Structures are given as structure tokens and as C-alpha cells.
Amino acid sequence: MNQRPLPEPNTESLFENLSIDIDSLPHAEHIAFDPIERKYANILYLTTSIFFFVLLILMVTLLIPRLGLLYWVSWASLLLWVFLYLFSMWFAWASVRKKAYAIRDKDISYKTGVFFRQWITIPFNRVQHCEVSRGIFDRMFGLVELKIFTAGGSSSDISIPGLKPDVAHTLKELVINKVDSLDEEE
């Protein structure tokens, strides 16, 4: 995320009654993140294009015949369509480059977001279950999606798209093994 150096805030007073040096803890900000497959962009290009062409067909068959081709609203909406379509394609291109995941000994992290950056970390001892899913478009490009579920609502679940099947299955095994071994320790 943000790499700009900052004056260190006073950490002593952040936590009360602390018996551990907070700087000695593992730093989550220094982990190396693995990006997802760039190929995933193709899926986004495809779905975006399908959406926009359906929109175009609706515009051409319903909106423009009523308004007339020469009316300025027709031209403006066509221009808007071109602009939004280009923007969405760029957004798809950029968003794939921002999606990355990282596994540490005891947790898994996932980063995403072009403008609004999100970075969520789930400890393995809070994972409920884990699955690999394949949609129609995933199948076309030979990719899969890894889903990691926690309890309660879905707000803290992670789903990592655009993974190679073998990578995803290794990750899934890894997560499940970690979850199981933690369960046994208890």
C-alpha cells in the first residue's frame, strides 16, 4: 500500500497494559505478495464486453429509434457508452494487477482494489472451510477461484480469482492442513 516514510507514532501509548514489544512481532507489511494470473484480465475483458454490447444493442434498438439519430441525446449517450466502455476495460486491466495474495505460517492475506485498496488477513485458526470453484469463464481460460470462508456473515470471507488449478489446489491443501493441525493442537 502506501510506502511513503512517516514519523513513527508513539507506540507505547497505543496499547495499554502491553507486555510485549510491538516491533518484535511479525510485520505483515513486509510479506512478499504473489500476484494472480494476468490471464484473469481476459475473463474481465470478456464479461465487460458482453455487458457493454448488450447495453449497446438495447440503446440502438430501443433508445435511438425513438429519439432519432440526429438528436444530441443520442450522440451524447453513444459517446458516454464509448467512454464508460474504455474506462471499464482499463479498470479491468488495472484491477488484475492489484490483486495479490500471501501466505504466512499462520495466516493468509489478500489485497485488492484500484482506487479503494483493501487488504484482509484471516488467521488459519479462524477458517471454517475452503473450496476451489470454476465458473464457465474460468473454464474457458483454464483458471479457478479459491474461496476461504469464515463463520458468521460473508464480510470477512476471501475469494481469490485467477489462479492456476494446480496452484489453487496446493493452496487449498495447505490451508486445510494448517487448519486441521491447529485443531489437533487444541
Partner 1 sequence: MKKSEDSWYRNPTRQSPIAIVMIVFNIVKSLIRVWWPIIILLFFRSSMIGPDTGKPLVIGAVIVIILFSIWRYLRFHFYLSESKLHVQSGVFTRTKMDIPFDRIQTISFEQNVIHQLFNVTKLKIDTAGSSKEEFEFAALEKAKAQDLRNFILSRRTNFDVDTGVATDHVPDQKLLLALEVSDLVKVGVSQNHLRTTGIILAFLLGLRDRIEEALGESYVDQFDSLAEQLFQNIFTWGIGLFVILLLASFIGTLFYTVFRYYDLRLWKTSEGYKVQAGLLNKIEQAAIDHKIQIVRWVSNPLRRIFGIVHLRFYQASSATGNRSINVTVPGYPEDKIYQIKKFAFGHKYIEPQVSHGIDRSFFWRRVLFLGMLPATLFCILGWLDQRLTWFVIGGLWFIIIGVFQHYYQKKWAYFLTDRECITSHGVFEIVNKAISMRKIQGVQIWQSPFQRRRNLSSIILHTASGDVKIPFIPYQVSLQIKNYILYKIESSRGKWM
Q: Does 26 bind partner 1 (CB under 8 A)?
A: yes
Q: Which one of residues 68, 70, 115, 184 is an interface residue with partner 1 (CB under 8 A)? A: 115
DSSP structural state of residue 155? T
Angstrom distances, CA of residue 41 to CA of 36, 44, 113, 120: 10, 5, 14, 22
Q: Which one of residues 39, 97, 117, 139 is an interface residue with partner 1 (CB under 8 A)? A: 117
Contact call for residues 168 and 40 (beta carbons, < 8 A)? no
Q: Which one of residues 4, 70, 136, 184 is an interface residue with partner 1 (CB under 8 A)? A: 4
Q: Does 19 bind partner 1 (CB under 8 A)?
A: yes
CB of 83 to partner 1, least distance (A): 20
Element (H, E) at 163: strand 158-163
**Binding window for partner 1 (CB under 8 A); candidates: 37-45, 52-60, 119-127, 162-170:** 119-127
DSSP structural state of residue 31? P
C-alpha–C-alpha distance, residues 112 and 160, integer Å:
9
Q: Does 97 bind partner 1 (CB under 8 A)?
A: no
Contact call for residues 139 and 128 (beta carbons, < 8 A)? no
Q: Does 184 bind partner 1 (CB under 8 A)?
A: no
Q: Which residues make up the interface to partner 1 (CB under 8 A)? A: 1-2, 4, 6, 8-9, 11, 13-20, 22, 25-29, 106-107, 113, 115-126, 150-156, 185-186
